[in-house]
Amino acid sequence: SSLTLNFDMERGRHLVASQDILPGQNLLKEEAFVSVLCPGEGFLLHDSSETAWDTRVTNADLYCHRCLKELLASVPCHGCSYAKYCSQNCADVAWEQYHRAECSLGALLLTLGVFCHVALRTVLLAGFAEVSRMVEWSHDGDKDLHNSEARCEHPSEAPATRTGTRGLPGCNDSGQ
């Protein structure tokens, strides 16, 4: 690998090149913990001002609502008219992970916007207990707001949870 993950008090967790890197070379590929399709601008399918129907196509019609791949033949959600997937597998995984809770909220989520949708999906994927623990941990840190050393503590020094795990979700005890 061309990169090494390091941690120090000054910079926190960071990547350092362990060998020469060529321009344009891919260094890492990471899946997002959560993603939400941005509805985006609509594109008119018909070039007619007399069209009575709303025939605009948006990103929601063009990309899978789970993996964000371009749709060729979409698999629709059986519970709503909004979510579309590239495969039955994507539809099933989305249903199990988050769409079961989001399905009936479709119009509300569109009205509230992408940031609210991302927040809800983050809670659904991380789990309410984990989010509550992180909020509590961040509030405990408020009392050290002006203490730069306390703000830069190593992730493994985070308070232990009831389940006995420590640190940041997805990281080991050394912050990696």
Q: Report pLDDT digits (tens) over 118-174.
A: 999 999 999 888 888 888 888 776 655 445 455 454 444 544 444 444 455 556 666
pLDDT given at position 158 = 45
Does residue 84 fall inside a structural domain? yes
Q: Are 45 and 57 contacting, i.e. CB atoms less than 8 angstroms apart? A: yes
pLDDT given at position 140 = 76
Q: Is residue 106 over pLDDT 60? A: yes
Could you tell me which of 53, 59, 95, 88 has the C-alpha nearest to residue 73?
88
The H or E element spanning position 62 is helix 59-62
Neighbours of 140 (CB within 10 A): 11
pLDDT given at position 97 = 94
Q: What whole-number distance in Å separates Cα of residue 57 and Cα of residue 42?
A: 5
* Number of structural domains in the chain: 1
Q: Report pLDDT digits (tens) over 73-88.
A: 999 999 998 999 999 9
Q: Are 36 and 120 contacting, i.e. CB atoms less than 8 angstroms apart? A: no
**Domain coverage including residue 65:** 52-106
Does residue 74 fall inside a structural domain? yes
pLDDT given at position 155 = 47
- SS3 sequence, 92-151? HHHHHHHHHHHHHHHHHHHHHCHHHHHHHHHHHHHCHHHHHHHHHHHHHHHHHCCCHHHH
Does residue 170 fall inside a structural domain? no
Residue type present at position 86: C
Does residue 70 fall inside a structural domain? yes
Q: Report pLDDT digits (tens) over 30-82.
A: 888 999 988 776 655 555 555 555 667 888 899 999 999 999 999 999 999 89
Does residue 20 fall inside a structural domain? no
Q: What whole-number distance in Å separates Cα of residue 13 and Cα of residue 173?
A: 12
Does residue 61 fall inside a structural domain? yes
